[in-house]
């Protein structure tokens, strides 16, 4: 069964645009959990433009014992006022999963994965620390990656998350065959190394079914922007249930 983890960043963006507490992040999380999602994802950034460190602490308590909590972010991001640093944030929240993403501070959204052949040695001490904290570690990788999975497994990485932006763009143009094949081949390499595979970025109700059919052994999909956008029309509860039906 593929777990649906709902990314709540866009709820926080809307709240922060006006200030105050609406829309309520806790209410959104509870609605998604009641609808049957298996996880809640956040990607707090150092500039606090959406989910904040305080939100992370609240969601860590709200999800504990109910669904998995997944914190995404750049593991090399240092601390600064209002942001304790990624590793410290994970240490405080103790999520089920920490997903490491090579984002620059001012990056609008995630748009590439790690080069495992190049980055594994640099990531090794951070992965060891996160494992000591007690959370599963996943690395964001590009479709087409074929090397470095054995090395990632050796340093304690448990999963990789496929960056599915190029697949979604290709699907929208009407020909996703090539990108889908790249995703499937990367999954085969990762699974051969003993890694489970997650996926995320620009997945939606139109393209998710095709993706899931091609890669049936997905461990998790993390979906935020599209799901929250669709929920504006259909409601959050129904939208989460629609995704769960697609995942089957």
Q: List, by residue number, the catalytic residues.
A: 43, 72, 201
Residue 221 backbone dihedrals phi, psi, to 5 degrees? -120, 135
Q: How far apart are CA 163 and CA 141, in angstroms?
A: 6
Residue 92 backbone dihedrals phi, psi, to 5 degrees? -75, -40
Q: How far apart are CA 84 and CA 82, in angstroms?
A: 7
Q: How far apart are CA 163 and CA 168, in angstroms?
A: 10
Q: How far apart are CA 41 and CA 6, in angstroms?
A: 6
Token pair of 179, please? 């990108």
Q: Which residues pair with 136 in a beta bridge?
A: 97
């Amino acid at each position: 069964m593929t777990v649906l983890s709902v990314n709540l960043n866009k709820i926080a963006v809307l709240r922060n645009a006006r200030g105050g507490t609406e829309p309520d992040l806790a209410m959104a999380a509870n609605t998604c959990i009641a609808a049957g999602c298996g996880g809640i994802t956040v990607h707090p950034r150092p500039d606090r433009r959406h989910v904040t460190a305080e939100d992370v602490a609240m969601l860590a308590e709200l999800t504990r014992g109910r669904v998995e909590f997944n914190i995404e972010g750049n593991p090399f991001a240092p601390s600064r006022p209002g942001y304790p640093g990624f590793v410290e944030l994970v240490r405080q929240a103790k999520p089920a999963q920490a997903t490491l993403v090579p984002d620059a501070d001012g990056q609008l959204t995630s748009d590439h994965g790690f080069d495992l052949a190049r980055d594994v040695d640099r990531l090794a001490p951070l992965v060891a620390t996160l494992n000591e904290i007690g959370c599963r570690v996943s690395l964001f990788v590009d479709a087409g990656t074929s090397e470095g999975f054995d090395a990632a497994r050796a340093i304690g990485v448990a999963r990789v998350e496929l960056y599915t932006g190029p697949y979604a763009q290709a699907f929208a143009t009407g020909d996703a065959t090539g990108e889908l094949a790249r995703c499937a081949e990367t999954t085969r390499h990762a699974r051969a190394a003993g890694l489970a595979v997650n996926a995320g970025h620009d997945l939606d109700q139109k393209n998710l079914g095709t993706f899931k059919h091609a890669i049936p052994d997905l461990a998790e999909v993390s979906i935020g922007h599209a799901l929250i956008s669709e929920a504006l029309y259909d409601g959050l509860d129904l939208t989460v249930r629609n995704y769960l039906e697609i995942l089957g």
